[in-house]
Copies of this chain bind each other. A is one copy, B any other.
Amino acid sequence: MRRRLAGRAALETADGPAELAALLDGADALLAWDFNSDAVRTAWPRDPARAPRWVHAASAGVDRLMFPELVGTPGLRVTNSRGVFEQPIAEWVAGVVLAFAKDLPGSWERQRQRVWEHRETRRVHGSTALVVGAGPIGRAVGRTLRALGARVRLTGRRERADDPEFGRIHGSSGVDGEFGELLGGADWVVAAAPLTDATRGLFDAAAFARMRPGAAFVNVGRGPLVVEDDLLAALRSGTGRPARAALDVFCREPLPAASPLWEAPGLLVSPHMSGDAVGWEEELAQVFLAEFERWTADRPARNAVDLHLGYVPMTPQP
């Protein structure tokens, strides 16, 4: 990166919050590498005139950047790393869904005990998947599950009937309405939404209670989409709503060693790695450099975050 920006930008690297505050004051642009830190918030200049004019996130989610002082900075451009994580995450979700359908965890468990025990498997072909989140990641997940023969339903912030790829995009608010019916009709429920005020805690006890017995729940969005205590209780309840879950994201990361989630029945704990396929760091650099070219040329950003929505909308907002 340093080499590729040589002569075009003075590049400084902050390793801690104090250093960041010093460097950020008066900087033109910020590349935020750590998606899961409040360091930017802590270090953000109090004087908007000293704030950077462009913030780029080396992640898809920008929830940690959506604090009032940043959102309120006049003329600020915020971009994300759309295009890097979608396909790997979709494959990871498909892998988890198939592993659950075929009870691969049960096979590994029995293997450790040298137990040969035949079981019947489930089919993904002909099953129903509900993907919550109709952005690039949710769509990639939906596309991949559909390629495996699943019926796929997507929900998004904005209901619409004219999606070119998925037809109808359903709403995702209110478990007593259509969203509850969608939850109840799905074999696989995948959370792939950005973390916003509208999605925080969306998967709570009421949502899990709506799920079909035997369903599996997967979260590749952000940890706080889920009320973790409610998921823990649901898995422990033995009702099968859900019967299994896979979390790649958590309210606290790394997940503390004392967390009861490590031993929750039917749960896969994955260390926030679903999107990080070999080569991801180089791809992130490419996305940043492409946005750098646009920014320095005064051209519109490709991955412009809508600061009111808190993510990059699929279509420009009115």
A273 touches B120 (CB 8 A): yes
A222 to chain B, nearest CB (A): 16
Within 8 A of B (CB), among A84-115: 87-88, 91-92, 94-96, 98-99, 101-102, 104-105, 107-108, 110-111, 114
Smallest Cβ distance from A19 to chain B, in angstroms?
Answer: 24
Beyond A95-B99, A262-B111, whether A277 also contacts B88 by CB under 8 A is no
Q: A94-B98, A96-B104, A122-B278 are in contact. Are A117 and B271 (CB under 8 A)?
A: yes
On chain B, the residues within 8 Å of A149 by CB distance are 87
Return A90 CB to nearest CB of chain B, in Å. Answer: 9
Contact B269 A107 (CB under 8 A): yes
| Cβ-defined contact, A271 with B118, below 8 A | yes
Q: Does A280 sit within 8 A of B, measured CB to CB?
A: yes
Contact partners of A255 in chain B: CB under 8 A = 116
- A interface, CB within 8 angstroms of B: 87-88, 91-92, 94-96, 98-99, 101-102, 104-105, 107-108, 110-111, 114, 116-125, 144, 147-149, 253-255, 257, 262, 268-274, 276-278, 280
Closest 6 interchain pairs by CB? A95-B98, A116-B254, A147-B147, A111-B269, A116-B271, A95-B102
